[in-house]
Structure 1
Amino acid sequence: MNIQQRTAKTLSPPGRSATPDVAPAPREEWLRAREDRLAVTYEHVGVGIVEVDQAGRMLRVNQKVCELMGHEAADLLGRSIFDETLPQDVAQDLGQFTRQVAGEIDRYTIEKRLARKDGSYFWAEVTSSSVRDASGNFLYAVRVQHDISSRKEAEQARCAAEERAQQLVSIVESSDDAIISKDLDGIIRTWNPGAERLFGHTAGEAIGKPVTILFPPGREDEEPGILARIRRGERIDHYETVRRRKDGSLLDISLTVSPVRNGEGRIVGASKIARDITDRKEAERKLRESEQRLTELFAAIPAAIYTTDAQGKITYFNQAAVEFSGRTPALGSDEWCVTWKLFNPDGTLLPHDQCPMAIALKEGRAVRGAEAIAERPDGTRVPFIPFPTPLRDSSGRITGAINMLVDISERRQAETQQRLLLDELNHRTKNNMQMLQSLLFSAARTAHSEEARKVLNEASARIAAMAAAQRVLYGRSDATRFAAEEFLPVVCQTIRQLLPEARIECGAAHGVLSNDVAMPLALILNELLTNAVKHGIKDHASQGVRVSLTDQGGRLALCVEDDGEGFDLEQVRKTASGLQLVLGLARQLRGTLCVTQNPSRASLDFPAVKI
């Protein structure tokens, strides 16, 4: 039986029974009126009603459906109910509707989301009922839908609140910090596992007890002050104190205490988070001890030491720095150096922002080998050597610098005294060598034997060569080493004076000679030049001797070359006393003598001085 058939049998016109003798005309009017009332009711009922065929197409919709969907009725008719369903909700509705059309079920209810014309959606509770003919065949379905968005939002809000609450519970339970709540009388109300680990009391042992069970003797007076602040609505952040464990041991903790309010906003208690800071306190203690030891060490060092920040502002200085500079530096305002004024070694003014400490900070490098002069407020000046070194953090960023100023006044005085002594020694040595050379020269002139005159003249020439090397060596501030370009010309000039007929060309000279090398090398050069001039040169007008001293990859090479015929070293080795002297001195220098006849050349190769 369809719905129209059931309606015709159960409804009668008002005031009359449903009998066959009813007049046709009044009955038709009554049915028409009834249908009109049903149509009005259908349109204005407070729920959405949709009639759909077995394919799910909308055959009829009431006004409430149009209001919910934001469409005109004409826009919805013929469209599938699944087109307006959010994709993620289609499968469940379609599955139930398919069973309904197949006759497996006559009714089902589902919650799903329906899209509006403007793109938004709302939650609807849909009840789908079958309408069948007398044979039970599916004709259409009537779907009644209610807007349940408000309920869904409330459910979602409740679920979210429950989830947040559960998250908070999980956080509290899993926190490594002790999280405790207490009422305004200081009685413990909650106690998390972190509190049990930190203080040793179980929740059963702590809850209901006064929080003062955690206070060591002498600190009970802290609690009234904390509760008073909580009652005023204050929050206490990072309050560092000491508490007692169950076993009686003490620990340093940091407390954060916050008021707890009820639903009416009234303060009913407090929550506190306690964090163990024992390790941090111990580290701070060790740091203070380390800083104290460092301060004591700096104070004990007999040299001016100070530090700056990354901008060059003075942050620390020791007492030696005060004595050195003749003033007390101003922390945070003095820059770059603790001194009153600075000068370069030549006496010119050195601006503080150009001093070695400023360079070290600006260029990020340690400065070594610099010298400067500090002037005190009383006008006295102090020569010194600075040792500025940048300080960096773990990431390599410059955080400041440290500098040590070494007073070299005594060293300067010692150097001056040493220079005077060296000058005196040089003067006396020069006079003695000149006297010895004069005695040898006089003896050679008065000697009756030609052999004696020869020996005395050779000795005089050797003394002259040694004197030339000595003048170069002791004419410098550093008497331990000197340059080859200073040594070679002086020795060559001395030999020219002894052999005026010779044409001696002094060539390239570079390298560094030590004091130990200078004298033997001067004697070797004298012997080789004398031998070349006397035995190698036949025509002094057209022939000459060339000499050079060069550094060749860490070894020095002395080369004497003439325009003569040369000689065979092996043939004259045993008979020429001068060459025997050269060979002996070459061994002393750990060198090798090499002689060639074409070209005529004698060369000595020996190790250079390491700088």
Structure 2
Amino acid sequence: MQDISFEDLTTLFSLVLDHVPIGVVILDQDLRLRFINQRHAQNNRLTASEQLGKRPSEFIPDIASIIEPKLRFVIEHGIPLLNQEIHGKTGQENSPSLHRLANYYPWKNSSGQILGVIGIIQDSQVDQFSQKMLEESELRLLNVLDNLFTFVGVLELDGTLSHANKAPLDAAGICIDDVRGKKVWDCFWFEHDAHLQGQMQQCVQRALRGQVSRLDMQVRMRDGQLMWIDFMMAPLRDSQGNITHLIPSGNDISQRHHDAEALKISESRFHSIVDSSDEAIISKNLDGIITAWNPAAERLLGYTEIEALGKKVTLLFPPGKVNEERALLERIGKGEHISPFETMRVHKDGHLVEVSVTISPLRDQHGNIIGACKLARDISLSNKQKAQIQRSLEEKTSLLHEVHHRVKNNLQIVSSLLNMQARKVSDDAAQAINECQIRIRSMALVHQLLYESENLSNVDLCEYLQQLITLTKISYQDQDMPIEMEFIHDNEIISLDVQRAIPCGLIVSELLLNAMKHAFKLSQAGKVRVHLVRNDAESNQVVSTSSRVKSSYITLTVSDNGCGLPANFVWGGRKSLGAQLIPMFVQQLDATLQTTSSTEGAMFTIQIPERDEGADYAN
């Protein structure tokens, strides 16, 4: 069958279609009107002859920008466009607004070649109430769209933008007239980036095939600023399922994108810390399956990350320690943090590794416990070093005990030699030797106490003075002196280092000797009292100026109920050795000495500052 000529087709159409209540038009590939029936010519407020041979932009310019893209799309793609709503005016003076529903079909010859477009256009004739309701409905829809923060647009099937809501226009600082009628990829938001324009064209093509596209992209906004949006392009279908428009939309995700980037940086920093850690970091789920394994874990236990992940953590446990894992998981499931403990783990090559392990529960974003994180540190070398240090300490302790024992013995030998010498000298010389023996015994007593004690650096001052007073009293028993000696203390542990314990003991020895020699008349009964107490600086105005002392001090008082000191008594006098030695010992102690004397007796008060532990006491 031969193709019907255009003239024959026009004659046929005129006979059939001039009186139907629907518009029919035929346009060629140049969009020139080749046929229009009487109904549609009247709807355009023009005669047929005024329209034939012309493009829509020449006789209905106000709506040509809407119609012509649709016509070109049909010609280019050979796809019909159905139920296309067209709003506007014909362009004629005082012409009313029109609302048309058009269907455009490709006009093909028998070989399938597209010759143009056949349009079937229905001019909706509705009453004023219906028209008003429609306009109000459309206005409400536009208001809703304009008040959405989401970016929403409407595209023709060829990608031409016909509408955009207020949000993207305001964000970009433009108006609808700046973008309406443009291909969407040529609009302000996308034209800054050729790659982005290509993506938009691909999204349009996929939407024409009924596919939805969704991707994150950076679009241009006011002052050239870029905004990250969650973009989507979707087809819009009518009740018959035909694609009538394309709907681009987008949500501002700048903050989310910023947070995601910050999270990536944080995760990168975290992984860097984990990977560079010297401690093995191993995580597991509540079934005991290894889920994370850092390089330090590989160095400690021999397994690579690939070998360890997905394996039971009991792979690392010696046979006798498997039950330990069950108990640990139960505690972790209760949310317990497991403090460091020492245990054994098995290296890949089979040897045991001594480790210190700390375990903490792992939680998800809702606070639910999903596993545990272990920190493991090799303590094999540390334990060996501790053992060596302990052995060395024991050896040194034993040596120091031996040193104190030998010093004590040597001082006792000196005391014995003096005792032998005292038998061959006068009574005055023997008394002087006896006093020297008491001083030597006070020094030997310090070394004896240190030898018997676990503490080799400090002397228990209460025990020391108690024994010293007893020794002094025994030394004068042969003189049959009815003198009572009393030691008073608060049962509080008061210690002095070796360097200060000896001068302290010598001071007490000298004061006791002086009291027994000079405070009482021959065969007179008397009493000597030694009082030891610790005080705080707040309770006394006497405060040492030394920067090496604490805010507390030791008060040592030696008193008697004898005749008191001579009226001309002066510390440092040459007549008494004790009067010369005591100020020297007080100075060594960095202490203060107060002397009180009357006919009812004498009292000597020594205040010894307590020093900070670990301070340098060298003078």
Correspondence 1:525 to 2:491: no
Alignment match of 1:191 (pick from 154, 164, 181): 164
**Runs of 5+ unmatched residues, structure 1:** 1-152
After superposition, the Cα gap between the structure-2 partners of 1:217 and 1:560, relative to the gap in structure 1 and judged at 3 Å, is same
- The answer for unaligned runs of 5 or more in structure 2 is 1-128, 478-483, 538-550, 614-619
Distance 1:434 1:565, change over 3 A: same
Is the Cα contact below 8 Å between 2:533 and 2:554 reproduced in 1?
yes
Map of 1:433 onto structure 2: 407
What's the CA shift string for 1:472-505, capped at 9, x where partnerless?
77x24xx77x6x8x55325633664565468665
Superposed CA offset, 1:562-593 (max 9, x none): 66438559936224544654544444544333
Calculate percent identity across the aligned residue pairs: 16
Distance change in 2, residues 1:451/1:392 (3 Å):
farther
Aligned to 2:278: 302
Distance 2:261 2:197 in 1: 25
Amino acid of the residue matched to residue 400 of structure 2?
N
Select between 190-199 and 418-427 the one with higher mean Cα deviation. 190-199
Between the aligned partners of 1:382 and 1:526, the Cα distance in structure 2 is 53
C-alpha separation between the residues in 2 aligned to 1:245 and 1:255? Answer: 15
Matching residue's letter, 1:292 = S
Matched to 2:414, the amino acid is L
Structure-2 change in CA distance of 1:251 and 1:349 (3 Å): closer
Name which of structure 1's ranges 461-470 and 393-402 shifts more when overlaid on structure 2: 393-402
2:345 paired with 1:376 = yes
Tell me which amino acid in the other structure corresponds to 1:438: Q
TM superposition shift of 1:524: 0.8
1:453 to 433, 452, 459: 433
> Are the counterparts in 2 of residues 178 and 198 from structure 1 also a CA contact under 8 Å?
no
Q: CA deviation at 1:460?
A: 1.4
SS in 1 for 2:504: helix
Q: What are the superposed Cα offsets for residues 149-207 of structure 1, whole Å, 9 maximum, x if unpaired?
A: xxxx99999898577435314314xx4x5433323433322234543566687644433
Q: 1:269 aligns with which of 245, 251, 257?
A: 245
Aligned partner letter, 2:552: R
RMSD: 5.9
1:276 and 1:230 map into 2 onto residues whose CA distance is 22
Q: Quick check: 2:443–2:505 contact (8 Å CA) kept in 1?
A: no
Offset, 1:412: 2.0
Distance 1:571 1:523, change over 3 A: same
CA deviation map 1:439-490 (0-9, x unaligned): 42144224454476246424412422431564477x24xx77x6x8x55325
Contact map agreement 2:185 2:201 (CA 8 A) in 1: no
> Does the 8 Å CA contact 1:229/1:235 hold for their aligned counterparts?
yes
Correspondence for 2:144: 168
Aligned residue type for 2:569: Q
Q: Which amino acid aligns with 1:559?
A: L
8 Å Cα contact 2:595/2:604 also seen in 1: yes
Q: Deviations over 1:201-227 (max 9, x none)?
A: 764443333333437455667457645
- Which residues in structure 2 correspond to 1:463-542 (within 5 Å)? 463-468=443-448, 470-471=450-451, 475-476=454-455, 486-490=460-464, 492-493=466-467, 496-497=470-471, 499-500=473-474, 505=487, 507-510=489-492, 513=495, 517-528=497-508, 531-532=511-512, 535-536=515-516
**Aligned AA (1:208):** G
Alpha carbons of structure 1 residues 158 and 278: separation in structure 2 relative to 1, 3 Å: closer
Look up the match of 1:556.
553
Q: Quick one: distance in 1 between partners of 2:330 and 2:227? A: 52
SS in structure 2 at match of 1:555: strand
Match of 2:185 among 195, 212, 215: 212
* TM-score with structure 1 setting the length: 0.52
Which residue of the partner structure matches residue 412 of structure 1? 386
User: 2:530, 2:559 within 8 Å by CA — same for their partners in 1?
Assistant: yes
Instruction: Name the CA shift for 1:497/1:456 in 2 (closer, same or farther; >3 Å).
Output: closer
For 2:158 and 2:284, the matched residues in 1 are separated by 53
CA contact (8 A) 1:593 1:604 kept: yes
Is residue 314–residue 338 contact of structure 1 (8 Å, CA) maintained in 2?
no
Contact 2:289–2:312 (CA<8 Å) still a contact in 1? yes
Counterpart of 1:253?
229
2:244 partner amino acid: V
- 1:349–1:592 distance in 2 versus 1, CA, 3 Å: farther
Does the C-alpha gap of structure 1 residues 562 and 242 become closer, same or farther in structure 2, counting only changes over 3 Å?
same
Distance in 2 (CA, whole Å) between partners of 1:610 and 1:312 is: 50
Q: Evaluate the alpha carbon distance shift between residue 559 and residue 333 of structure 1 in structure 2; reply closer, same or farther with a 3 A threshold.
A: farther
Which residue of the other structure, out of 600, 603, 606, is the alignment partner of 1:604?
606
Counterpart in 2 of 1:139? none
- Give the C-alpha shift of residue 520 in structure 1: 0.8
Structure-1 separation of matches of 2:562 and 2:326: 63
- 8 Å contact from structure 2 (residues 151, 251) kept in 1: yes
Find the aligned partners of 2:596 and 2:362 in 1 and give their Cα distance.
61
Amino acid at match of 2:154: S
Q: Are 1:180 and 1:271, in contact at CA under 8 Å, matched by a contact in 2?
A: yes
- Contact 1:495–1:526 (CA<8 Å) still a contact in 2? no
3-state SS of paired residue (2:569): helix
Q: How many residues align?
A: 433
In structure 2, relative to structure 1, the CA distance for the partners of 1:161 and 1:208 (3 Å cut) is: closer
Change (3 A) 1:588 1:166: farther
**TM-score w.r.t. length of structure 2:** 0.51
Match of 1:100 in 2: none
Question: Match of 1:376, SS?
Answer: strand
